[in-house]
Amino acid sequence: MSKLKEIRERKNLTQEELAESSGISVRTIQRIEAGTQPKGHTLRVLAKALETTESEFQNIEIETKDLEIKEDQIPANYSLIKVINLSSIPCMFLPPLNILVPLFLMFKLKQKNAIVKQIISVQIIYTIFAPVTFLLGIFLKPGPALTIILIILIVLSNIFIILRNSAEIDRNKELLYKLNFSLI
């Protein structure tokens, strides 16, 4: 509902009554109530006729426009996205943190976009995949040396994915390694 309509109904006025008291045509009032922003003379006359301030019309319109912005419309800051991506590396040895730190940064840095969601989804898959692979390595009993090599390969593969995605963010503003779906 437009702010003009809200104020007009609060004052128990019809469009015709407001048009008569303000000297603005009914058609102009209808256009403003449909979403056209009143300006200059029209704004002043309507504010005076409704016994309110001009800024009351403008403030509410701005708030309404802010609410209509969806998270996909927030411009992506690729340097911050890169920081979020690289934040998984120091936390790799404590698996829940390689998800929680980027997730925290996503909210803190206000970067709730598809790329960041993919970064976190890849880390979730890694956090599930790594222990399963490690446990399979233990149950197959290849020996302590192979188990250590397996752990090193798992960690290095994740570091490679993170670094390669960071390079791709720099070059093409997208991820090279991503999922076809998002887990968050």
How far is residue 61's CA from residue 94's CA, in Å, rounded to a whole number?
A: 47
Nearest to 173 by CA among 70, 61, 81: 81
24: alpha, beta or left, given left = phi > 0 and alpha = psi -120 to 50? beta
Is the pTM higher than 0.75? The answer reads no
Q: What residue numbers bound the domain in which 34 lies?
A: 3-68
Are residue 168 and residue 78 in the same domain, yes or no? Answer: yes
How far is residue 22's CA from residue 43's CA, in Å, rounded to a whole number?
A: 10
Are residue 26 and residue 106 in the same domain, yes or no? Answer: no
Q: How many domains does the chain have?
A: 2
Encoded tokens for 71: 């998270």
For position 61, what pLDDT does the model report? 42
Does residue 174 contact residue 85 with C-beta atoms inside 8 Å?
no
pLDDT in tens, 130-150: 888 878 877 887 777 887 888
Are residue 96 and residue 155 in the same domain, yes or no? Answer: yes
Dihedral, CA of residue 28, residue 33, residue 37 and residue 43, to nearest 10: 60
- Domain contains 183: no
Task: Tell me which H or E stretch contains 114.
Answer: helix 114-139
For position 70, what pLDDT does the model report? 53
- Domain contains 115: yes
Domain final residue pick, 51, 68, 85: 68
Taking the CA of residue 19 as centre, how many other CA atoms within 13 Å lie in the half-sphere pointing to its CB? 12
- Domain contains 23: yes
Encoded tokens for 36: 């056209």
Domain CATH for 26: 1.10.260.40
How far is residue 30's CA from residue 4's CA, in Å, rounded to a whole number?
A: 10
Positions of the chain with pLDDT under 70:
1, 57-74
Are residue 89 and residue 165 in the same domain, yes or no? Answer: yes
Are residue 78 and residue 39 in the same domain, yes or no? Answer: no
Are residue 92 and residue 55 in the same domain, yes or no? Answer: no
Are residue 27 and residue 110 in the same domain, yes or no? Answer: no
For position 1, what pLDDT does the model report? 56
For position 63, what pLDDT does the model report? 46
Domain final residue pick, 12, 38, 68: 68
How far is residue 38's CA from residue 47's CA, in Å, rounded to a whole number?
A: 10
- Domain contains 177: no
Are residue 166 and residue 91 in the same domain, yes or no? Answer: yes
For position 67, what pLDDT does the model report? 45
Encoded tokens for 180: 């076809």
